[in-house]
Amino acid sequence: MPWDKLFGGVNKPADAKDLTDLEKKHLPVLCAPDSVKAGACFEVVVEVGKLLAHPNENGHFIEFVELYADDIYLARADLTAVTTCPSVRFNVSLPGAVKQLRAFARCNLHGVWVSAMSIAVKE
Ligand SMILES: [Fe+2]
């Protein structure tokens, strides 16, 4: 894929039911409960390369993972090549009225990628 396409915005799969190898390597995979209680702490795991292993070497690695609740910024983890694995565990709580968790991951060679999952927050 051309450089200007990869770095011209946030990358999403063209067809979520038929992912390319590039998409499988870069899409962050979210693991969290489907339903949580407002204000209660819970765990979210974001892993890059779960669908297909992503390189983790000096010239090619995942630089960061960010977590959002809808458009609310929750957390970020900065990663380094070789010494950190692109799998991050966040402990968060949500205020309610949130519909989605969204994870962003940035590869130094292939840009920013986003995935989302629905979550129900009960009062
Ligand atoms: Fe990459």
pLDDT in tens, 66-91: 999 999 999 999 999 987 788 999 99
Residues whose CB is less than 8 angstroms from the CB of residue 22 and which lie 6 or more positions away in sequence, other chains included: 1, 110
Give residue 60 CA to ligand 1 midpoint distance, Å: 6
DSSP class of residue 49?
A: S
Give residue 35 CA to ligand 1 midpoint distance, Å: 32
- Among 70, 116, 75, 65, smallest CA distance to 96 is for 70
Give residue 89 CA to ligand 1 midpoint distance, Å: 21
**pTM score of the predicted model:** 0.93
Question: What is the extent of the structural domain holding 18?
Answer: 3-122
Give residue 112 CA to ligand 1 midpoint distance, Å: 10
26-38 residue pLDDT tens? 999 999 999 999 9
The CATH number assigned to the domain holding 39 equals: 2.60.40.730
Q: Tell me how far CA of residue 95 lies from CA of 14, 92, 105, 120, 121, in angstroms.
A: 32, 10, 24, 11, 8
Give residue 42 CA to ligand 1 midpoint distance, Å: 29
Task: Report the number of distinct structural domains present in the chain.
Answer: 1
